[in-house]
Amino acid sequence: RRGSRNTHARPSSASAAIMWKLLVVLASASAFMRPAAPRTATALASTLTKKKIADDITELIGGTPMCRLRRVIGDDCKAEVVVKLESMEPCNSVKDRIGLSMIKEAEARGDIAPGKTTLVEPTSGNTGIALAMVAASKGYDIVLTMPESMSMERRVLLKAFGADLVLTPAAKGMGGAVKKAEELAASLGDKGYLLQQFNNPDNPKVHRETTGPEIWEQTDGTIDVLLGGVGTGGTITGSAQFLKPLKPSLKVVAVEPAESPVLSGGAPGPHKIQGIGAGFIPGNADTSLIDEVVQISSEDAIDMARELAKQEGIFCGISSGAAVLAAKILGSRAEMEGKRIVVIIPSFGERYLSTALFQNLWDEAKGMTAE
């Protein structure tokens, strides 16, 4: 009891006295032992608490901030909408986490080594950029396949990190990029190593160990809805795997393109929301954890991403616009009064300058002349 004294009498016999001293020592030691229950401590040690000076770029991954939205959600939104800015990772996307995790875990298993292994992976851009960054930091050769419909910024970034880039037909979507990567990995024999972000368990694992615990710590456990787009499914799956046991009432909401509603049981189709809506349900997407799927059209996602920049000062990609719009729709329901929705902002807007998101501004800026 707080403020009370020990009322137990000390034993009189010598043997009992020795036992008493031993219990006192053990009790004192246990006071300094790390508690087993809060699983957040270990995960947060390498994310929210960082070195003042990192030994390499990969040590700066994770520990991203959160921010409330004030204006774009509108007066009809009854919920508080908070965004986790994965756009502030070292390479500006949530994929930095899995880029490091998949390589680091494969190294730990002895599957790969710098100078001996060529990494191979299909990507819509952000995972490839993250992998190329980590590969450059650790000294790996890497070959990446990507649909030709992805932005020019992605192509340039991948090449800047020294990656070999192979483009695949846009009409074949991510499925085409996956097939090409499998062919290239096979052609490399024992030297090639396919990381397989869509099925690699080290993808959701890193979100279970870092992203989820960070959200819990940053919100003090006050979270009612976790909402995010589904690309590989790793972010929403891993985060939910950590958060739902701590708060069983948590609602997990996935976002997908209206033009390619595969999670909802529809047919795959072309869309402009880069990074989500791969056209198939990835192995890393545990759909049993998803309580609801919200479909957002490409044009609506683009409009919201533009508004986030102009009204909130948050510069992000198209899938971020889709996620925030889904949160706005969800938050406008009567039952969401006083609830908190946490939205994952997966990437920074600068790698979308040449896409439909900012093409109008690109053309406008290009046509400007000096006065």
Give the Cα separation of 297 and 303 in Å (integer). Answer: 10
Measure CA of the first residue to CA of the last residue in the chain; give whole Å.
77
Give the Cα separation of 208 and 47 in Å (integer). Answer: 13
Catalytic residue among 298, 319, 320, 347: 319
Give the Cα separation of 11 and 60 in Å (integer). Answer: 55
95-109 vs 126-138: helix axis angle to the nearest 10?
50
Among this protein's residues, is 15 annotated catalytic?
Answer: no
Contact 146, 158 (CB under 8 A): yes
Give the Cα separation of 343 and 323 in Å (integer). Answer: 7
Among this protein's residues, is 328 annotated catalytic?
Answer: no
Catalytic residue among 95, 205, 251, 339: 95
Q: Return the residue matching tokens 């910024």.
A: 153
C-alpha to C-alpha distances, 232 to 65, 100, 150, 194, nearest whole angstrom: 23, 16, 16, 15
Number of neighbours of residue 303 by Cβ within 10 angstroms: 14
Contact 285, 300 (CB under 8 A): no
3-state class (DSSP) for residue 208:
helix
**Residues with a known catalytic role:** 95, 319
